[in-house]
Amino acid sequence: MRITPSILTADFTRLGDTIDSAISAGIDWIHLDVMDGNWVVNKTITFGPALIRSIREHLGPDIFLDCHLMVTNAEETWRQYVDAGVNLVIAHIEAIENPNTLISDLHSAGVQAGLVLNPSTDPALVLPYLSDLDLVLVMSVIPGKGGQSFMPEVEEKVKTFRSAIDEQINSGGRNTLLMIDGGIKSHNAKLVADWGIDIAVVGSGLINSKGTISENLDEIRSSIND
């Protein structure tokens, strides 16, 4: 199971250093949490395309950037994030009207397409699009901030997607990646890896925990391999 840092809980006055430490710790994929001050319950604003463009310029072309759009108008604004340099756009199924159109638009623009579900959202809303999706993200916290507690009740949903994706792969279909996001730390990383998660987003568990990013990453990785 891969680990990708969310920079949401970083000190934004030292973001370049934080990103550099993540890269030197061997990270090659960064998760960017975009909130528009409207869609998430606590109405937070985080950052938008301008910051993402600076991050892309700082990093160069090889680091994979995904943007988790927690916004009311992803279908109108997704291209700003593509132009800013992201490789994958992950949109909330709860906030979009026409998933098929968005997915094909993203693919025509040369980037990957993902859908994300809140903890209480039924997987049946996303399963019909699975064969066209590069990634499905299951939220294990309610979107809006980092540092929240993990919600184990998403186990059932993760396993539903795991078996649907395995079936899809076994019949020659797309290897859709399965991602989880929220409250992942060294004490539960192995649990979600055993559920069949391909990529876990870790924010505060990497950036705001006691050790360096590299130490925290090693601790999480060894907890998975124990």
Catalytic residues: 33, 181
Selected from 87, 148, 209, 212, the binder of ligand DX5 by CB under 6 A is 148
Question: What is the Cα–Cα distance from 204 to 210, expressed in whole angstroms?
Answer: 10
Site for Zn ion in 59-118 (CB under 5 A): 68
Selected from 36, 66, 134, 181, the binder of Zn ion by CB under 5 A is 181
* Binding status of residue 141 toward ligand DX5 by CB under 6 A: yes
Q: Which stretch binds ligand DX5 (CB under 6 A): 1-9, 85-93, 128-136, 217-225?
A: 1-9
CA dist list (Å): 32 to 42, 69, 165, 173, 208: 18, 8, 24, 28, 16
* Binding status of residue 143 toward ligand DX5 by CB under 6 A: yes
110: left (phi over 0), alpha (psi -120 to 50) or beta: left
Residue 182 interacts with, from ligand DX5, Zn ion, none (CB under 5-8 Å by kind): ligand DX5
Question: What is the Cα–Cα distance from 39 to 101, expressed in whole angstroms?
Answer: 21
Site for ligand DX5 in 150-209 (CB under 6 A): 181-184, 201-205
Residue 208 CB, nearest approach to ligand DX5 (Å): 7
Q: Which helix (H) or strand (E) holds 81?
A: helix 74-84
Inter-residue contact 10 to 31 (CB < 8 Å): no
Write down the residue that tokens 């279909």 correspond to.
173
* Binding status of residue 146 toward ligand DX5 by CB under 6 A: yes
Write down the residue that tokens 């989880």 correspond to.
180
* Binding status of residue 33 toward Zn ion by CB under 5 A: yes
Residue 85 interacts with, from Zn ion, ligand DX5, none (CB under 5-8 Å by kind): none
Specify the residue, 23 or 71, whose C-beta has the smaller distance to ligand DX5: 71
Residue 49 interacts with, from ligand DX5, Zn ion, none (CB under 5-8 Å by kind): none
Question: What is the Cα–Cα distance from 111 to 78, expressed in whole angstroms?
Answer: 11
Site for ligand DX5 in 101-140 (CB under 6 A): none
Question: What is the Cα–Cα distance from 162 to 178, expressed in whole angstroms?
Answer: 7
Residue 141 interacts with, from ligand DX5, Zn ion, none (CB under 5-8 Å by kind): ligand DX5
Residue 151 CB, nearest approach to Zn ion (Å): 14
Strands (E), the chain: 2-5, 29-35, 64-70, 88-92, 112-117, 135-139, 177-181, 199-202
Inter-residue contact 59 to 23 (CB < 8 Å): yes
Please tell me the count of residues contacting ligand DX5 according to CB under 6 A.
21
Question: What is the Cα–Cα distance from 157 to 144, expressed in whole angstroms?
Answer: 20
Residues that bind ligand DX5 (CB under 6 A): 6, 8-9, 31, 33, 68, 141, 143-144, 146-148, 181-184, 201-205
